[in-house]
Amino acid sequence: MQYHVLTTERCNLSCTYCGGTRHLPGIPLEVEYDIEELVDFISKDSEAVIGFYGGEPLMAIHRLEEIMDRVPARAFTLQTNGTLLHLLKKPYLERLHSILVSLDGPARVTDASRGRGTYDRVMRNVKDIRRRGFGGDLIARMAFSDHGDIYRDVTHLLEHFDHVHWQLDVFWSDLDSRPDLEEWLDRYDEGIGRLISLFGEGLGEGGVPGLVPFIPILRTLITGVPHHLWCGAGVDSFAIMTSGSIEACPIAPELLYSNVGDIRTSTPEDIRNSRRIGPPCTECDILWVCGGRCLYANRTMSWGWEWFDRVCLSTRRMIEGLKGLVPLAMELLDSGMLKMEQLDYPEINNGCEIIP
């Protein structure tokens, strides 16, 4: 299974869609459990993948190093805002399977939400870790907000990263206070259509462009094999908070459905398949491809039915667009220009939720 291990709740940025350091009742800013308790829990899972998370996990880099030194895992990944990547020592850097770096596009777009100078600072660090020997999967993890142009921003980041993943800025927003939301989503849908065309062109040339949401969805459409919630929240992916509590997802531990156990009293098998997507997603005809998009959104319906359905329409449009590439992909597979293993992404659960 995959475990988001929070090394700290502190953050050195204050992005518009997050707000920086979290101060949640019962969730300490720093880790309060003993490392041996984490070792004991994780050692019961021979296929454990640990993803360092926060806050900004590199603000507690000593904790990351201690875990990599002491805790057995199949692989380690890191989700970071990228500002402190220069602190990662070479031996730990080289052991990371994947690094997800939070950037939203070119400097103007990134800095509008993350603070002036953030883009340049992060890109210096990205170039530095490649120079120092990081050979793993380097992923740009975007938040697509009102400042963005999805086609422009994704294609820009593809020039610098192996893969690009994005999420819509709808989780923490008061959607009713955004009168241009429908127009924003329409622009997003148009841009996704252009990216699908770009993706198809890349396939035709014998490659697989690193557009994270498209690759596993296309594979699913080709094989017809249904998929559960892509991020795995509550099924085979969990968050270990700084208190030692285990949550279905790291983004909202304050919600009642979130807690599934504690590293001191639970085992990995105790928590496996402990939370599932419910209606309306379970009544949807594309559930087998979409997987339910987000456990948090499904359980809370905090956007209300109207906006929930509208965001789902964007998912449906993306899937329909990718269906149009299936005949081309089948031809390429039959000819040998494309191998099915090229569509086997991600190799491990690296923290990309797949469905934006």
pLDDT (tens digit per residue) in 214-262: 999 999 999 999 988 999 999 999 999 999 999 999 988 888 889 999 9
In-domain check, residue 16: no
What predicted TM-score, i.e. pTM, was given to this entire model? Answer: 0.95
Helix (H) or strand (E) holding 138: strand 137-144
Least confidently predicted of 12-16, 85-89, 136-140, 259-263: 12-16
Would 53 be classed as within a structural domain?
Answer: no
Q: What amino acid is encoded at 100 in this protein?
A: L
> Is residue 328 one of the residues assigned to a domain?
yes
Domain count across the chain: 1
293 found inside a domain: yes
Is 291 within the bounds of a domain?
yes
User: Which domain does 340 fall in, by range?
Assistant: 176-230+275-347+352-356
Highest mean pLDDT among 93-97, 167-171, 248-252: 93-97
- Residue 202 belongs to a domain: yes
Q: How many Cα atoms within 13 Å fall on the side-chain side of residue 201?
A: 6
Alpha-carbon distance of 244 to 263, in angstroms, equals 6
Q: Render pLDDT for 8-33 as a digit per residue (tens, 0 to 9).
A: 999 999 888 777 788 888 899 999 99
Contacts of 332-338 with C-beta under 8 Å, sequence gap 24+, read 332/203, 332/204, 332/206, 333/222, 337/206, 338/203, 338/206, 338/208
Within-domain flag for 321: yes
| 212 is a domain residue | yes
